[in-house]
Amino acid sequence: MHAPEQFKNWYEDYQSSFMSIGLRLGYCNNDVKDVINQFFLDLLEKNIDPKSISNPKAYLSTAFRRKLIDHYRHSSEPPLSIETCNKDYSEPSIQQILEQIETNRELINTLRNAYRKLPARCRKVIDLKFYHGLTTEEIVLQTRLSKRSVYNNLFEGMKLLRAELNRSAPMIRIAALSCCLLLL
């Protein structure tokens, strides 16, 4: 997985935790969101290799707390109390988290079954494109297919996946397809 993709995944995974940390320390919703966004932008700019981080949760939590401390030091006003902040943020309940996990499992299983039904060529091209992150030219070199065949197999595979997902799970949004391909 490429560094920007890994940082995007971490952003999605830890954003709510970082919101909780910032709100508990007395920062307002908008301030915490700004600090979170700046924190991840700074990480990207530093070109840190995600593979060098053995415990991402501990590393990111510590680095984020330090970012909040730096923000506090450079800010002219101290964080506000919880009562004066916007109360439009709430942590998801355990029930909501469990429901989301179950929905994700169903989506992944549906997608996995649809992927297995694809022709072998389509599976191969999708695997190389989404799992290995190869460009079309690299896929051409590795598979010895023509560039047009690679495009056609990729298009056909995605079309078949969409059709199968619409048939077997019409509630699932197709936008989730590309996100979940990495989880197969």
Give pLDDT tens digits for 112-145: 888 899 999 999 999 898 888 888 999 999 999 9
Q: Tell whether 15 is covered by a domain.
A: yes
Q: Tell whether 164 is covered by a domain.
A: yes
Name the more confident of 77 and 177. Answer: 77
146 and 78, same structural domain? no
Q: For 61-85, what is the mean pLDDT?
A: 71
pLDDT at 177 over 70: no
pLDDT band at 87 (very low <50, low <70, confident <90, very high): low
Of the candidates 167, 155, 164, which has an alpha carbon nearest to the alpha carbon of residue 115? Answer: 164
Q: Which domain holds residue 154?
A: 94-183
123 and 55, same structural domain? no
d(CA 112, CA 93): 28
Q: Tell whether 132 is covered by a domain.
A: yes
Q: pLDDT at position 31, please?
A: 84
47 and 104, same structural domain? no
Of the chain, the percentage scoring pLDDT greater than 90 comes to 18
110 and 59, same structural domain? no
Last-in-domain residue among 84, 114, 146? 84
Count CB-CB contacts under 10 A for residue 3. Answer: 14
Mean pLDDT of the chain: 79
- Please tell me the pTM assigned to this model: 0.43
109 and 62, same structural domain? no
Pair 169, 118: CB distance under 8 Å = no
Count CB-CB contacts under 10 A for residue 133. Answer: 12
Q: Tell whether 8 is covered by a domain.
A: yes
Of the candidates 167, 158, 166, 106, which has an alpha carbon nearest to the alpha carbon of residue 127? Answer: 158
Q: pLDDT at position 64, please?
A: 86
Pair 141, 132: CB distance under 8 Å = no
d(CA 65, CA 21): 8
48 and 115, same structural domain? no
d(CA 122, CA 157): 5
CATH number at residue 146: 1.10.10.10
Q: Tell whether 105 is covered by a domain.
A: yes
Pair 162, 115: CB distance under 8 Å = no
d(CA 126, CA 108): 16
80 and 100, same structural domain? no
Among 45-49, 109-113, 136-140, 173-177, top mean pLDDT goes to 136-140
DSSP one-letter code for 91: P
Pair 34, 59: CB distance under 8 Å = no
Q: For 153-182, what is the mean pLDDT?
A: 71
pLDDT band at 170 (very low <50, low <70, confident <90, very high): low
Q: Tell whether 89 is covered by a domain.
A: no
Last-in-domain residue among 57, 84, 111? 84
134 and 153, same structural domain? yes
